[in-house]
């Protein structure tokens, strides 16, 4: 047992608000979608009941159209902006109006592999997960590549992939606003004002039409097909298929979606740059950035070893892998959020894909690298790849969770490797 194990459990406990977990107090005082799913795998190492509750609470916020919001505002907190009054979500719980990477079905499958006695809880979640995936296949589907209408939907808020698509947007009509994030975290580790103006413009467009998907499909100025969404949805749909089949439920619709996304993902292969990247659907151009999301191709089970040369090149450039933006790219900024820092939970997904695809040594090297980074620097939101210096929020739920489930030497990895 490492002393960090106790600390990680204490962070999950301190961030637990009763049925859901905040990513960290102050900076993110609500329930975030994929943060919660990571929290669940952390709880699962010592409190399986609490793990299931986390995902059940998240899915209780599902909208009638199937969308599962990226933020659920269970209790209003003035320390966060933009809050429920700006988002004006239309679901059963005050919420944002966009989704986030759909990793939940995959993690539900892992929870069940760790402890099969909770089958009833998994079975009850399946129809909700299918509805959520159907929402993606209906409203975020560009020939099987999954796109987003807001950078926040991918979770990779300010990565360089968005620079050109956002530059084409004139952020008109937003009211004067005060950011709260930079009262919690140094401005140099957060998105710029330029990005925020455009984030808020896109929120206003959606809120003003009551998040009418059909209308937004016509007018959304930001439509970018993205590896995070495409690869996590593909992986999660396969896991959902396995769950449904395990309960004797029909799978033909899920099979069709798997085929469609598998074929559609090919659009994200940028042969000239030798990487999976984003495609700006308005212009049809690849964004040309190698990011940590590019390396989720193994997690999605596609592309064979196409990304291996990039992985090995980038692994040698910084002390800690995997930087969120290629350090050789001119937009790389090692401390600024998704423009360079290492995100430990992305490392867990990348390593999981590597180990399933015949690269156990690389997967284990990435785990050790992540373990040492957290052991030396604590449970930060993200880390400077050059020296592991902590950045962003502290006492962070998903870093603590993946420590317990994967990075720590005492993690119960084998139990969810089914
Ligand atoms: C934030 O507020 O920075 C979040 O990433 C938006 O989801």
Ligand 1 pocket test, candidate residues 152, 203, 393, most atoms within 8 A of CB = 152
The 3-state DSSP class for residue 293 equals: helix
Token reading at 391: 């950045």
| Inside any domain, residue 152 | yes
Element (H, E) at 285: strand 285-286
Give the per-residue pLDDT at 417.
Answer: 66
Set 157, 226, 277, 326: catalytic member? 157
Ligand 1 pocket test, candidate residues 28, 33, 73, 324, most atoms within 8 A of CB = 28
| Inside any domain, residue 148 | yes
DSSP 378-397: -S-SEE-TTT--EESSSS-H
Q: How far are the Cα atoms of 59, 121, 154, 295 from residue 162, in angstroms, in the given order?
A: 28, 38, 11, 18
In the DSSP assignment, the letter for residue 295 is G
Number of domains the chain contains: 1
| Inside any domain, residue 414 | no
E strand residue ranges, 337-412? 382-383, 390-391
| Inside any domain, residue 412 | no
Q: Which residues have C-beta within 8 Å of that of residue 194, sequence separation ≥ 6?
A: 166
Task: Please confirm whether the linkage preceding 322 is cis (ω < 30° from 0).
Answer: yes
| Inside any domain, residue 417 | no
Give the per-residue pLDDT at 316.
Answer: 93
Is-catalytic flag, 157? yes
CA 152 to centroid of ligand 1, rounded, Å: 6
Give the per-residue pLDDT at 173.
Answer: 87
The rounded distance, in Å, linking the Cα atoms of 264 and 282 is: 17
Q: Please, what is the end-to-end C-alpha distance for the chain in angstroms?
A: 24
Strands 141-142 and 145-148: antiparallel
E strand residue ranges, 12-157? 31-32, 71-72, 141-142, 145-148
| Inside any domain, residue 356 | yes
Give the per-residue pLDDT at 418.
Answer: 52
| Inside any domain, residue 259 | yes
Token reading at 229: 């969404």
CATH number at residue 296: 1.50.10.10
The rounded distance, in Å, linking the Cα atoms of 142 and 162 is: 18
Give the per-residue pLDDT at 366.
Answer: 98
Per-residue burial over 197-222, b = 16 or more CB atoms within 10 Å of its CB, e = otherwise: bbbbbbbbbbbeeebebeebeeebeb
E strand residue ranges, 99-237? 141-142, 145-148, 224-225
E strand residue ranges, 52-132? 71-72
Q: At what angle do helices 252-264 and 227-246 cross, to 10 degrees?
A: 160
Give the per-residue pLDDT at 174.
Answer: 92
In the DSSP assignment, the letter for residue 72 is E
The 3-state DSSP class for residue 211 equals: coil
Are 147 and 225 in contact, with CB atoms under 8 Å apart?
A: yes
Give the per-residue pLDDT at 394.
Answer: 98
Are 188 and 221 in contact, with CB atoms under 8 Å apart?
A: no
Tens digit of pLDDT at every position of the chain (418 positions):
788 999 999 999 999 999 999 999 999 999 999 999 999 999 999 999 999 999 999 999 999 999 999 999 999 999 999 999 999 999 999 999 999 999 999 999 999 999 999 999 999 999 999 999 999 999 999 999 999 999 999 999 999 999 999 999 999 889 999 999 999 999 999 999 999 999 999 999 999 999 999 999 999 999 999 999 999 999 999 999 999 999 999 999 999 999 999 999 999 999 999 999 999 999 999 999 999 999 999 999 999 999 999 999 999 999 999 999 999 999 999 999 999 999 999 999 999 999 999 999 999 999 999 999 999 999 999 999 999 999 999 999 999 999 999 999 999 777 776 5
Are 279 and 267 in contact, with CB atoms under 8 Å apart?
A: yes
- How many residues comprise the chain? 418
Among protein residues, the one with the nearest Cα to ligand 1's atom 7 is 152
CA 61 to centroid of ligand 1, rounded, Å: 18
Token reading at 371: 């373990």
User: In terms of Cα–Cα distance, which of 74, 72, 70 is closest to 101?
Assistant: 70
Which domain range does residue 328 map to? 3-407
In the DSSP assignment, the letter for residue 403 is I
CB-defined site of ligand 1, < 6 Å: 70, 152, 157, 181
Are 223 and 192 in contact, with CB atoms under 8 Å apart?
A: no
| Inside any domain, residue 20 | yes
Is-catalytic flag, 376? no
């Amino acid at each position: 047992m490492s002393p960090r194990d106790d600390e990680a459990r204490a962070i999950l406990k301190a961030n637990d608000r009763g049925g859901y977990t905040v990513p960290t107090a102050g900076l993110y005082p609500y329930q975030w979608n994929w943060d919660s799913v990571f929290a669940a795998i952390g709880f699962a190492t010592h409190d399986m009941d609490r793990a299931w509750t986390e995902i059940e609470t998240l899915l209780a916020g599902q909208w009638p159209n199937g969308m599962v919001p990226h933020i659920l505002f269970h209790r209003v907190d003035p320390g966060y902006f933009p809050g429920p009054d700006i988002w004006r979500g239309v679901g059963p719980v005050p919420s944002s109006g966009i989704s986030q990477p759909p990793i939940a079905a995959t993690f539900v499958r892992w929870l069940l592999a760790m402890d099969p006695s909770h089958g009833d809880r998994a079975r009850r979640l399946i129809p909700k997960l299918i509805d959520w995936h159907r929402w993606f296949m209906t409203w975020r589907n560009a020939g099987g590549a999954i796109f987003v209408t807001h950078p926040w939907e991918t979770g990779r808020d300010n990565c360089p992939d968005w620079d050109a698509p956002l530059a084409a947007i004139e952020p008109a009509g937003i009211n004067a606003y005060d950011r709260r994030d930079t009262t919690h975290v140094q401005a140099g580790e957060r998105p710029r004002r330029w990005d925020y103006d455009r984030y808020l413009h896109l929120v206003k467009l959606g809120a003003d039409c009551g998040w009418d998907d059909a209308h937004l499909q016509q007018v959304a100025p930001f439509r970018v097909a993205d590896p995070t969404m495409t690869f996590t949805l593909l992986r999660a749909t396969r896991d959902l298929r396995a769950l449904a089949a395990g309960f004797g439920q029909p799978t033909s619709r899920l099979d069709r979606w798997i085929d469609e996304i598998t074929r559609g993902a090919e659009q994200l292969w940028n042969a000239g740059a030798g990487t999976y990247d984003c495609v700006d659907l308005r212009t049809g151009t690849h964004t040309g950035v190698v990011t940590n999301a590019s390396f989720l191709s193994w997690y999605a089970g596609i592309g064979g070893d196409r990304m291996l040369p990039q992985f090995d090149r980038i692994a040698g450039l910084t002390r800690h892998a995997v930087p969120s933006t290629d350090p050789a790219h001119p937009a790389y900024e090692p401390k600024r959020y998704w423009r360079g820092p290492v995100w430990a939970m992305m490392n867990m997904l990348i390593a999981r894909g590597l180990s399933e695809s015949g690269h156990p040594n690389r997967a284990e090297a990435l785990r050790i690298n992540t373990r040492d980074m957290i052991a030396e620097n604590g449970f930060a939101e993200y880390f400077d790849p050059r020296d592991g210096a902590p950045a962003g929020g502290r006492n962070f739920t998903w870093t603590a969770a993946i420590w317990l489930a994967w990075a720590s030497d005492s993690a119960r990895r084998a139990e969810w490797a089914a």
